[in-house]
Amino acid sequence: MATISKHPHRKGWRVRYYIVYPDGIKVDRSRLCKTSKEAQALCARATLLEEMTRFKTYNLSHIHDWRAAGLLSDKDYRVLLGVFPEAERALRITLGELAEFYLELSRSLSRREFVARRSRVKRILSILDPKLPVSLLRPTDGAFLVKELMRKGLAPATVNKCIRDVKRMLEFAVEDGYLNKNPFRNLKAVRNRDPFRPRVLSPEEVERVLAEARKSRLLYGWIYLVFLFAFGCGLRRSEILSLRWEWIDWEKRLIKVQKTKTGKIRFVGIGKKALR
């Protein structure tokens, strides 16, 4: 039966237990817990592990749960999975192969989005071993990935996109039967402690931009009006480029913007300069 004892040299509590392999070999294992409450919860699970491996009454779900709890090493996990022929499939696909499959499914994205996603996947594989079977990934690997991405100086927004990508990859592995559940499902996004503060142009800078735009022949000379609407009305680029003459109410000095990002029609006032 699993036992709990205070560690003689380190802070914390040690849980001792054993695992009986399918061929009858008995191996001793131990895990260190920070608190006695945590040790008691782990000890109860370890006791169940001992009984179920002794009498071979476990299934795939039990193996995945024990590994998630940190009770099984990689070797223990592979040996116990060997009892189930259907589990051999999970040990074959690697993280690199899963990444290739994920990128192949991303071909429908625009070129810009696909290139950005491919770059993020490359960053992920530079930290996590692409030759590692996906079934051997642990929740701690996800925490290590986030820590290394932050250490490299990436912006929190970029790190969060990498987190979304790796979680989606592993969801595909769950759907295809390579994993019982996503080991990174509880991986949380990074909080942006230094939010982006856009710099506002001064009135003098706005006038200089408009003066240069008036000289430019970009968009057949219409670039001046694009900047004028951007500064004077606060419209998005896509909204400016989709404007129609019939959407303008000249008497009330209003623009009825019908093609918006949210899909909802909105009204925007026109300044004197833009009206002229």
**Which domains can be identified in the chain, with CATH numbers?**
3-83 (no CATH), 92-175 (1.10.150.130), 203-275 (no CATH)
Residue 168: per-residue pLDDT: 94
Average pLDDT over residues 198-205: 84
Output the six-digit token pair for 69.
């709890």
If you search the block for the tokens 């142009």, which residue do you land on? Answer: 201
Q: What's phi and psi for 190, nearest 5 deg?
A: -85, 135
Residues 18-56 have pLDDT tens digits of 999 999 999 999 999 989 999 999 999 999 999 999 999
Q: pLDDT (tens digit, 9 = 90+) per residue, 112-152?
A: 899 999 999 999 999 998 988 888 888 889 999 999 999 99
CA atoms lying within 13 Å on the CB side of residue 134: 29
Please, which contacts does 127-132 make with residues 24 or more away whose CB atoms are closer than 8 Å? 128/95, 128/166, 129/95, 130/94, 130/95, 130/96, 130/99, 131/94, 131/95, 131/96, 132/94, 132/95
pLDDT for 43 equals 94
Q: Is 59 helix (H, G, I), strand (E, B) or coil?
A: coil
For the chain, list the strands marked E by DSSP: 3-6, 13-20, 26-33, 248-249, 254-257, 266-269
Q: What is the mean pLDDT of residues 176-193?
A: 85
SS (HEC) of 165-179:
HHHHHHHHHHHCCCC
Mean pLDDT of 211-227: 88
| Lowest-confidence segment of 21-30, 160-169, 192-201 by average pLDDT | 192-201
Strands in 3-6's sheet, in edge-to-edge order, are: 3-6, 13-20, 26-33
Rounded to 5 degrees, what are φ and ψ at 233?
-120, -15
Give the model's pLDDT for residue 90. 59
Residue 102 clears pLDDT 90, i.e. is over it: yes
The answer to whether residue 85 scores a pLDDT higher than 90 is: no
Share of the chain above pLDDT 90, in %: 43
pLDDT at residue 173, rounded to an integer: 87
CA 210 to each of CA 198, 226, 237: distance values in angstroms, whole numbers, following the listed order: 20, 10, 16
Sheet holding 248-249, edge to edge: 248-249, 254-257, 266-269
Structure token pair of residue 21? 């392999």
Higher pLDDT, 76 or 192: 76
CB 224 within 8 A of CB 214: yes
Mean pLDDT of the chain: 88
Res. 163 pLDDT band, cuts 50 70 90: very high
pLDDT at 198 over 80: no
What pTM value is reported for the model? 0.51
pLDDT band at residue 234 under the 50/70/90 scheme: confident
Give pLDDT, residue 203: 87
Lowest mean pLDDT among 34-48, 97-111, 157-171, 179-193: 179-193
- Phi, psi (deg, nearest 5) at residue 219: 50, 40
